[in-house]
Amino acid sequence: MTRFLSGAFASVVALSCAVSARASGPDFGYVYTTGIEEEGETELSLWATDRRGKAQGHYEAQDYRLEVEHGISERFQVSGYANLASHQIRAIGGEFEPVDRDLAFQGLSAEFKYQVLDPTHDRLGLAFYAEPGWSRISKVKGTKARELELELKTIVQKNFAAVEQTLANLHQLWCSVWVQPLNSGRNVLPCQPSSSERPAFDV
């Protein structure tokens, strides 16, 4: 019954994302742009990401994010996220323990974006982005963990075609992730952006 509810929730998330995509969201989904919400405008979005498959065993994980985004001023916006996750992990071995967890509360995160230049009025778009986060469940392993994360980006955007809105994004990513597993010391891990967070193309 719980897995049925998880599947139904994922369907609702997918439908909500499809509706939200027709609003004033990013042009290419997970690609970061310099655009921000208008002052006083608030937007609610649901994001769903499915991850599965390892060299051996069974690996299946889903991430769900409920986002509330608000425009504070003409150049500054803030967002808050409630993050949920599910994991089914079996017979992988190594650092992966068996996990069978349906939908569970994973953690909280926030997003702050300040737009310096607007690509619709200036030659280039420029924005600074920061996303702090806290998690109680490891995103990859699915085990209980205390994770603190800070993600920093500089976003540069150039619009080449007004009609097609072809965007080139140059991302410089400085990210430090502090992972403090239960009953363990603090570790510093390198941050590697996922394929969904890479620029539309690299220059």
Instruction: Give 126-145 pLDDT, tens digit per residue.
Output: 999 999 999 999 888 888 98
DSSP letter, residue 42: E
Calpha distance 85→149 (Å, rounded): 17
pLDDT for the residue numbered 52: 87
Q: In what order do the strands lie in the sheet with 58-71?
A: 42-52, 58-71, 76-90, 99-117, 125-137, 144-161, 166-181, 187-189
Tell me whether residue 55 is in a domain. yes
Residue 31: predicted pLDDT: 76
Q: Is residue 202 part of a domain?
A: no
Residue 131, domain member (yes or no): yes
Instruction: Say if CB 175 and CB 197 are below 8 A apart.
Output: no
113 part of a folded domain: yes
Residue labelled with tokens 């310099």: 34
Q: How many CB atoms lie within 10 A of CB 55?
A: 6
Which parts of the chain have pLDDT scores under 70? 1-30, 161-203
Q: Identify the pLDDT of residue 29.
A: 55
Nearest CA-CA partner of 57 in 96, 92, 97? 92
Could you give the number of structural domains in the chain?
A: 1
Residue 203 domain-assigned?
no
Contact 134, 109 (CB under 8 A): yes
Q: Which domain holds residue 124?
A: 2-197
Residue 52 CB burial class (10 angstroms; 0-12, 13-18, ≥19) = exposed
